[in-house]
Amino acid sequence: MADKPTSGEIFGVPYNFERPSFGRMLSSYWKPGEGMLVEKPFGVGYTLNLANWRSWIVVGVAGALLWQQQQSESKSGDEASADEPVEVLVDDETDD
């Protein structure tokens, strides 16, 4: 039986299933002179290159959106007590 390749490309998407070392993990996320996206050190696809300034904008926007979502969830939790059901009494008597 032939050994299956542990790294390569399929349909233009890189994959790498070799056991990652600590040095390879660190060097794959910090590649000065490369683009915003670099190959993942383990798995399928791409990841952010933290040596590129555009990656930090993506991380900042994602953090701001997460913070905004958590703030809106906490505010909606506070307003939940104001949304409790209210009993309404209706008088059916009519004066003709």
Strand partners, 13: 10
Query: What pLDDT is stored for residue 62 in this prediction?
Result: 96
DSSP string, 34-71: S-SEEE-SSEESEEE-TTSHHHHHHHHHHHHHHHHHHH
Report the C-alpha gap between 22 and 36 in whole angstroms.
21
Contact 34, 52 (CB under 8 A): yes
The residues near 58 (Cβ < 8 Å, ≥ 6 apart) are 36, 48
- 33's tokens: 């002179």
Give the pLDDT confidence of 8-17 residue by residue, as tens digits: 888 989 998 8
Mean pLDDT of 24-47: 90
Contact 79, 71 (CB under 8 A): no
Give the pLDDT confidence of 64-93 residue by residue, as tens digits: 999 999 998 887 765 555 567 888 888 887
